[in-house]
Amino acid sequence: MINNWYLLALAAVGLDALASPQIHHWTMDNGVRAYFVETHQIPMVQFKVSFDAGSARDPGSLKGVANFVNEMIEEGAAEMNGALVAERLESIGAEFSAESGRDMSVFELRSLSDEPLLGRAVDTFSKLMQQPTFPEDALERTRDSILIGLKRRQQSPGSVASLAFYDYLYKDHPYSNPASGIEDGVSNIKRQNLLDFYREFFVGANAVIVMVGDLSADEARAWADHIVGSLPPGTKPDPVPAAEQLAENHSLHVAFPSTQTHLMMGQVGMARDDPDYFPLYMGNHILGGSGLISRLAQNIREERGLAYSVSSYFYPMREPGPFLISLQTRNDQAALAEELSIDTLRGFVEQGPTAEELESARKNITGGFPLRISSNKKIAGNILSIAFYELPLDYLSTFSESINSVTLQQVKDAFQRRVFPDRFLHVLVGGDQ
């Protein structure tokens, strides 16, 4: 299960103008937006089909439907049962995967580009996308597997912290829904709920397809038609509403039998198409987004040895996702690490970065562009973000420019307007040992 944080983080990367892949883009007759990048060096093709059908679309009483649908897709389609789906794909070395987060439900196929292998793989994929059967006999097994997953989540202090964080920060907002649902919801989902959800959200207006690999543009058009061309046009769902910030600081302490305390401290952050996107992204890079050399890592890990992992991040989602500082430390050090983190954040918000820090961040982000599109897999990830979040097609080729044009004052100003260290949610999980 990906959380869409990961996918979104991919969107925060770019390429220099020269190295940017050429993106073919068109809208299909039924409204599906299609994107294709041609690369012939390796005889393989990668397809990603994504729907705005993540857990943010779960009906209020049945949290978990979005993920349940995502997991059931490969359990039967057209004339095939789940066993046959797997057999057909794996006997030709093709790989299928399905993942769902809060914003997106994503399906991926990787196949060799040689015929007849590619044709056979696409044929099966096409049936999964357009003719899933949600067979009764796979329903209980899938439910059981999801429920075990929810239980395993409860034995991980990090997962418990994340659940508590989203739950309190987003309250009644759809982003409070965990990506794979909650036990009560999953236990009560009926086959009809899955069919209803599929019919509502798996429609042309709500879908994108991304193709990267060893195909011509004409072939890509034909495969896209085959895979998603028969979906009904449908309509886009209403936008997810905006979320509100907390009015004041709030602390949650969850007792957990672990040697470490997991801390998550944060607030509502920014959306993917936020006007402050670049200043906030760069500022966070300096604060806690650049590994060992970030300010937080310097203060918490390098100077005091308090944590192995400490970082801060904005998760830019369709609507503002969270901004948070996250670390784990031995239980008896939790209060100290918490205080140091907030002090570091406060100092950064008040004074902004130094000119040297901004210059280093600029060099790191722009200098690393070639690394970010160095494989088909990375290209596909970037294009999916552009596609799903409807970013401009020249997003990658203008990315360096956008980074280079951010000023010290813009970073400082954006942090002061958008980050509120006195209206933070503090979640601490651990301490019970």
Considering only residues 244-303, where is the footprint of other proteins by CB under 8 A? Answer: 257-260, 290-293, 301-303
For residue 100, the cross-strand partners are 105
Tokens at residue 4, please?
């869409």
Shortest distance, CB of residue 88 to other proteins, whole angstroms? 9
Question: Cα–Cα distances in Å, from 88 out to 111, 118, 124, 347?
Answer: 12, 12, 7, 58
Give the containing element (helix H, strand E) for 277. Answer: helix 277-284
Binding segment for other proteins among 163-171, 172-180, 328-336, 413-421 (CB under 8 A)? Answer: 328-336
Shortest distance, CB of residue 11 to other proteins, whole angstroms? 18
According to CB under 8 A, which residues from 195 to 254 bind other proteins?
Answer: none
Shortest distance, CB of residue 358 to other proteins, whole angstroms? 12
7, 13, 23, 44: residue in contact with other proteins (rule CB under 8 A): 44
309, 404, 409, 416: residue in contact with other proteins (rule CB under 8 A): 309
Q: For CA atoms 209, 213, 216, 217, give the dihedral sign.
A: positive
Is 19 a binding residue for other proteins by CB under 8 A? The answer is yes
Is 114 a binding residue for other proteins by CB under 8 A? The answer is yes
Outline where DSSP puts E strands in 155-249: 207-213
6, 22, 40, 275: residue in contact with other proteins (rule CB under 8 A): 40
Contact 362, 14 (CB under 8 A): no
Binding segment for other proteins among 243-251, 315-323, 345-353, 374-382 (CB under 8 A)? Answer: 374-382
Contact 243, 268 (CB under 8 A): yes
Binding segment for other proteins among 111-119, 168-176, 241-249, 268-276 (CB under 8 A)? Answer: 111-119
Shortest distance, CB of residue 30 to other proteins, whole angstroms? 30
Q: Compare residues 69 and 160 and give the one whose CB is closer to other proteins.
A: 160
**Binding letters toward other proteins, positions 137-176, x by CB under 8 A:** ----x--xx-xxx-xx-xxxx-------------------
Cβ neighbors of 245 (< 8 A, separation 6 or more) are: 267, 268, 420, 423
Tokens at residue 254, please?
């969850």
According to CB under 8 A, which residues from 353 to 372 bind other proteins?
Answer: 360, 363-371
* SS3 of residue 220 by DSSP: helix
Q: What is the dihedral of CA 211, 273, 26, 3, to 10 degrees?
A: 30
Number of residues that bind other proteins (CB under 8 A): 71
**Binding letters toward other proteins, positions 20-39, x by CB under 8 A:** -------------------x
* SS3 of residue 264 by DSSP: strand
Report the C-alpha gap between 195 and 134 in whole angstroms.
8
Shortest distance, CB of residue 128 to other proteins, whole angstroms? 13
Q: For CA atoms 91, 107, 34, 123, give the dihedral sign.
A: positive
Q: Compare residues 231 and 379 and give the one whose CB is closer to other proteins.
A: 379
Is 90 a binding residue for other proteins by CB under 8 A? The answer is yes
Burial of residue 102 (number of CB atoms within 10 Å: 0-12, 13-18, 19+): buried
Shortest distance, CB of residue 152 to other proteins, whole angstroms? 5
